[in-house]
Every structure is written in structure tokens, then in C-alpha cells.
Amino acid sequence: MNVARTGHIASTLANGLVLVTGGENSSNYYNSAELYNSSTGTWTITGSMNATRVGHAVSILANGSVLVAGGLSDTSPYFNSAELYNPSTGTWTTTGSMNVGRYRHTALTLANGKVLVAGGTDINGVPLNSAELYNPSTGTWTTTVNMSIARSDHTASTLANGSVLIAGGLSSSGSYFTYLNSAELYNPSTGNWTTAGSMSATRYWHTASILANGSVLVAGGLGDSSTYLNSAELYNPLTRTWTTTGSMSSTRYVHTASILANGAVLVAGGTSGGRPLNSAELYNPSTGTWTTTVNMSIARNGHIATTLANGKVLVAGGQSNSSNFLNSAELY
């Protein structure tokens, strides 16, 4: 990449290019964005966002535009602004602001074209239970029903029936943070949330991957008392239940998980025991087991990973230690 960064987000555009936005290094928050072209293996700078952002959320709209919302900025912490990227022009325009400033939240585009934003952390560092919807037709946000539990650093997954599964994360009780194993479902038709069972372990900074059979694989993360996790579990949308599956060979959090063309899940990097990892492993949904695969060329956490149209996985950026921010990229 042109800029070394962590905490950035990658989005695959309709034209196959990968858009990377925002992030930070030891001294800067970024508003810059760049594009990866898998055909040429090159990065090019594109238009910069109107605000620096890290911990923001990104969604691809039905018309191909990219919606970026919220995040932490060096000018306005935990802010509510949003903006749109036009892939045809490579430029950004501001759009309506969220009702609540938030950071480390999730955003997913629903089947009806609207974007659901949920949870995150407010300006006081307190996890939120609020949720809101962005309407691309009007460029405005409206509140929807709150989640049952305030949470940040959770995962959000769109199920085959259009519902959104929210799992895990951080909540708070008074002045203390609490780790969550609970999950809940958002129904876009009714705008309501319902409980979706509980995972066997509390976890945040984990990953969630939708498998070919519709199940959701959750792996790793940090658990109670900041325990590093290698455990994994599966959510069955038909029964709304969780079951444990094979554990990874390494504990890890702030890692990435990517679905491969053959249905396997590639997990790469992250942190274990306070040190970044270069290891990678594969989950086989048919056997429920993990096998190690080739290591990355450099240890990294806080990176991005994106499965490309050619079947390869692009990994870029992150940190190799507390002071070394990476601009390198590699392909699996």
C-alpha cells in the first residue's frame, strides 16, 4: 500500500477493485483511501474521505457506492458523520449523519437496500445498544429498535433469510467492562430484535464467517479476564442454537477470516500472548477441524483480508509490533 496503516477497512467494489479506507499509525489518523487492482497487483491512491477515521464501519450499497459511517477522528472523537464513495469518479461526498456518534460498531446492507448500524462505543467510551437505519434513497438515518444489550467489538452476519446475527462483544456494568457470549437477531421486516442463544464462551475481537450451509462460524477472540481463545463454535440459523466445533491450533484475536472458493475458512495472523502472529490455518466445514497452512511472510495483527475474484486472499497492512505499522501486502 502507499500508506502504512492499521484499523483500516477493505471493501470489494463491483469492478473487482479493493477499496481500503482510513486507519491509523502511531501518530496519525488517516482520511486517505487507496485501490488494489488484482489484475496488475498494484495500489493506486484514490480520493480522500472528508474526515480522518479509524474504527469506522463500511457498507456497499445496491448502486455500488460505498457508505462509510462514524469512527474515531483526530478532529471529532466518536463522531456521527457519514460519507459516500463513488467508484466511477473516485470521489467522496457527505451524506446524512447518524443520530448517535459511534466507534467500533457494525454496518450491514440489508436485502431492502437499507444499512443497519448497531452498537459501538459512544463519546464517553460506553458501549451502545442503539441501532439505526440508513436510507440510500433519501440519504437520511432513522432509529430502529435497540438491541437487548449494549455492545461494541461484536460481529454482525447476514443470514440466508435476511436476518442479521449479532454475537459477542464488550458491554459495561457501571465502571467495568463485561465480555458477552450472548447473541441476538434483527428482523428487517419487523424492525425487532430477538435472542439467538448464547455462545459457549464470552468473546470479542473474534471473527464470524458464513459457511456454504448457512451456519455461522465464530472463532477466537478475547474472553473473560482477557483470556486468549482458540475455541470455535457454530450457529445454526434453523435451530437458533450454538454448538462447539474443532479448536484452532493457536489462540488469536484481531485476526482475519476469509471464505475460500472451496468453502474452507482461512484464518490469518492476529495476536496471541501479546505478540503478533504470522501463522495461518484452515477450517474444513465438512470435518469440523483445523489444519495449519503456510505462514504469512510477516507477523501482523489489525490487518485486512479480502477474498478476490481470482480466488486468492489479499492481506494488507496491520502491525508487526507496537511501533511497526505495515504497508506491505501479500497473497494466499
Q: Which residues contact 48 (CB under 8 A, 6 or more apart)?
A: 31, 32, 33, 92
Other beta carbons less than 10 A from residue 42's beta carbon? 9
- What are the Cα distances from residue 108, in Å, to 62, 70, 282, 326? 12, 14, 26, 28
**What residue ranges do the domains of the chain occupy?**
211-332
Angstrom distance (rounded) from CA 331 to CA 210: 22
Nearest to 315 by CA among 324, 325, 301, 323: 301
10 three-state secondary structure: strand
Record the pTM.
0.97
pLDDT, position 237 = 98
Termini Cα distance of the chain: 17
Give domain 211-332's CATH architecture.
Answer: 6 Propeller (2.120)
In sign, the C-alpha dihedral spanning 186, 189, 191, 195 is: negative
The confidence score (pLDDT) of residue 81 equals 96
| Phi and psi angles of residue 225, each rounded to the nearest 5 degrees, phi first | 60, 30
332 residues of the chain, pLDDT tens digit each: 999 999 999 999 999 999 999 999 988 999 999 999 999 999 999 999 999 999 999 999 999 999 999 999 987 766 899 999 999 999 999 999 999 999 999 999 999 999 999 999 998 889 999 999 999 999 999 999 999 999 999 999 999 999 999 999 999 987 789 999 999 999 999 999 999 999 999 999 999 999 999 999 999 999 998 899 999 999 999 999 999 999 999 999 999 999 999 999 999 999 999 999 999 999 999 999 999 999 999 999 999 999 999 999 999 999 999 889 999 999 99
Q: How far apart are CA 54 and CA 78, in angstroms?
A: 10
H/E run at residue 275? strand 275-276
pLDDT of 33: 99
Q: Which residues of 203-242 are buried (b: 16+ CB within 10 A; e: fewer)?
A: bbbbbbbbbeeebbbbbbbbbeeeebbbbbbbbebeeeeb
Cell matching residue 258: 476469509
27 Rama sector, left if φ>0, alpha if ψ -120 to 50, beta otherwise: alpha
Residue for cell digits 496471541?
Answer: 272
State residue 173's pLDDT score. Answer: 82
CA atoms of 295 and 269, how far apart (whole Å):
9
Beta bridge partners of residue 83, listed in sequence order: 68, 94
